[in-house]
Chain A
């Protein structure tokens, strides 16, 4: 059977290009959430009182706790990149382990937070929201959509971290080739940044 020789020359390496690609992807994420923030602004403007009351229903303690741990996880990712640059594989793995743990913890908290709200009757289409009127329905509609899509990003982040940890263990990511880790870190900072906006908008503004 005739077979042509394998080509490897076009598998070129360009870390700058890879990072540029990631930044472009981050722009798309910003526009996606930007539209949600736009909707939030429109509906808050139309229903100021209901949004005020809605915010008081949310648990500021869980929100604050999640904000703090997410900030810590951003720091641990950044530190793991430094560790890889210095060739300290074990330290990088430990730091990524902490990040992964925090990401899971964030979702666990979210699960209990949502569970409590749903048990109480705050969910789309519930009788309680129907009684409370349009403004509250919209507040909780947006709350579930925005924090839900954010949680989906956390979930994708977990997948990325598992991949990166696996690649570090196989020595595919190391001190001279770590753009995958850097890009995962960029993504994680974005996820963190979006939460930094979601948190005050839903929990704190009174």
Chain B
């Protein structure tokens, strides 16, 4: 005989429903539990891929064979890339914080399709298992995460599971996107007009549209590559009349917008955090909204800048270069708004604020070096060098990764009802930040000197830069270890948070219980003010 108690003010972490224990999590349609499922999954795979990255940097600490040979190195950067891109940063903030906080921030009880939401996570897990099955079905792929034709169907290495797994992961991304668009259209609380919606949901909205409209392109491209490898249909195979450059076009038609899938929600999270810790309303709310939508739109038309040296007409080169400069403008608008938000604020120096401001710093370095790559003449010089690797990591790891950590520290008390240890969090951040800069800044110089990427070996003149970079990698991993250990420990043993609103945030999620109850609200809140009214 089971005793039924009222669940009105039981936190979602302690709620006991139809299933018990772990089943109560992996079969839960509660958006908050689904968000945490993503978080835990990502934590595991981020650790794996980060270790692969560290091993690569140790290999590069000296020229020649240090700890691995060329084939192992090729497999490592491939698997590192596939995990980091398809399993971590593409789902990234939307899957974790979007799931957890979108309904809370717009005053809803769940997303529009809770069961579909859980299905997305399951599809995600199946995709991951298929990708990783390559380990047991004939070894790792060696194509790089881009699977360029014709190598991806000529290599004897085992590419099929990775291709097929990435295809499956795409479904998860599409379903999350559909879910969020419908949720935002249909489930905002009464009074929350479009322009009273907080900025994180706004960026999720722009992101969700990219997920819906771009992911099918990579889906069909990966499927065609599978068919090319299995059947030899000929569409990408020059030996059968196909065009491998067409593969690159299709690949980047998705994968460039995907960069904005990665960064836009991060920008949204930063736009939430800065006003709270500056005690000031966000500067230029509408400009941030419009620039998010502009990024999502213009982001579709710049894919060619990944292919400046692949063979394109001069006119196409100019157009893509011009559009690349154009897409930098909305990002710059955001940076301006963030800095103006901090300006003359009463700053509350907490860990989320450190992550957020360091985000602006690394994001600017990443963005400005992106323009070096977007200009035709300089691109030819630095194409396929370590300069590209450094730029890419400054944006994707520096941008999305820092925003992720900022968001995790910011929302941590709401998610777990406990506070992280602030001094360890700050030490972890400082170590990580220092390690990050030491790791990636020398790579710009190495790239300019001409060190190509994706080789396990290099000429002796690049030795100094690589030593610094590899030491930076060790420092950064140490920082990440401190940050993660602190968060994991604090989620169980941290100081309990009693109030609803430890940071004094003005958005709706801070009006729910800490941690929120199963249905978030006893009554759907009514919204009368804008999201950032500090007066």
Contact = CB atoms under 8 A, between A and B. Distances in A.
Most chain B C-beta atoms within 10 Å of own C-beta, residue among A1, A28, A43: A28
B389 to A, nearest CB: 29
A31 B215 CA distance: 9
Contacts of B216: 28-29, 31-32, 35
Given A4-B10, A124-B233, A134-B234, A24 B4 contact: no
B2 A1 contact: yes
B519 A9 contact: yes
B242 A1 contact: no
B482 interface: no
Contact of B112 (A2, A6, A14, A42): A14
B235 A134 contact: no
A138 interface: yes
Interface in A129-149: 133-135, 137-138, 141-142, 144-145, 149
A76 B447 CA distance: 63
Given A27-B212, A141-B233, A36 B220 contact: yes
Contact of A141 (B178, B179, B235): B235
A192 to B, nearest CB: 19
B123 to A, nearest CB: 14
Interface residues of A, number: 41
B343 interface: no
B169 to A, nearest CB: 15
Interface stretch (A15-23, A81-89, A95-103): A15-23
A40 to B, nearest CB: 10
B530 interface: no
B7 A4 contact: yes
A194 to B, nearest CB: 13
Contact of A21 (B2, B18, B113, B187): B113
B234 A138 contact: yes
A3 B219 contact: no
A39 interface: yes
A16 B183 CA distance: 11
A17 B182 contact: yes
B287 to A, nearest CB: 27
Contacts of B7: 4-5, 7
B455 to A, nearest CB: 33
Nearest to B174: A28
A10 interface: yes
Contact of B16 (A4, A16, A20): A4
Interface residues of B, number: 51
B307 interface: no
Interface in B221-245: 221, 223-224, 227, 231-235, 240-243
B220 A28 contact: no
A118 to B, nearest CB: 12
Most chain B C-beta atoms within 10 Å of own C-beta, residue among A1, A14, A145: A145
A65 interface: no
Nearest to B175: A25
A47 B242 CA distance: 11
A32 B217 contact: yes
Nearest to A33: B220
A35 B2 contact: no
Given A10-B114, A28-B212, A137 B185 contact: no
B182 A135 contact: no
Nearest to B223: A149
B503 to A, nearest CB: 27
A31 B17 contact: no
B153 to A, nearest CB: 12
A1 to B, nearest CB: 5
B213 A28 contact: yes
B188 to A, nearest CB: 12
Contacts of B273: none
Interface string B189-227: 000000000000000000000001111110111011001
A135 B223 CA distance: 21
B34 interface: no
Nearest to B183: A17
Interface in A88-137: 124-125, 133-135, 137
Contacts of B214: 31
B390 interface: no
Contacts of B185: 17, 20
A42 B113 CA distance: 39
B235 A2 contact: no
A170 interface: no
Contact of B519 (A10, A24, A149): A10
B272 interface: no
A2 B519 CA distance: 19
Contacts of B240: 134, 137-138, 141
A3 B17 CA distance: 6
A110 B18 CA distance: 46
A103 B185 CA distance: 34
Most chain B C-beta atoms within 10 Å of own C-beta, residue among A31, A42, A144: A31
B186 A20 contact: yes
A124 B232 contact: yes
A133 B241 contact: yes
B234 A141 contact: yes
Given A2-B5, A25-B178, A35 B220 contact: yes
B368 interface: no
A3 B186 contact: no
B220 A24 contact: no
Contacts of B2: 1-3
A11 B4 CA distance: 20
Given A7-B17, A43-B235, 9 more contacts: A5-B5, A10-B110, A10-B519, A20-B186, A25-B178, A31-B216, A43-B242, A133-B241, A149-B223
20 contacts: A4-B4, A4-B6, A4-B17, A7-B7, A9-B109, A10-B109, A17-B187, A20-B185, A21-B179, A24-B178, A28-B212, A28-B213, A35-B216, A35-B221, A35-B250, A35-B253, A39-B246, A134-B234, A138-B241, A149-B223
- A-B residue pairs, 7 tightest by C-beta: A134-B241, A141-B233, A4-B7, A32-B216, A17-B186, A31-B216, A3-B2
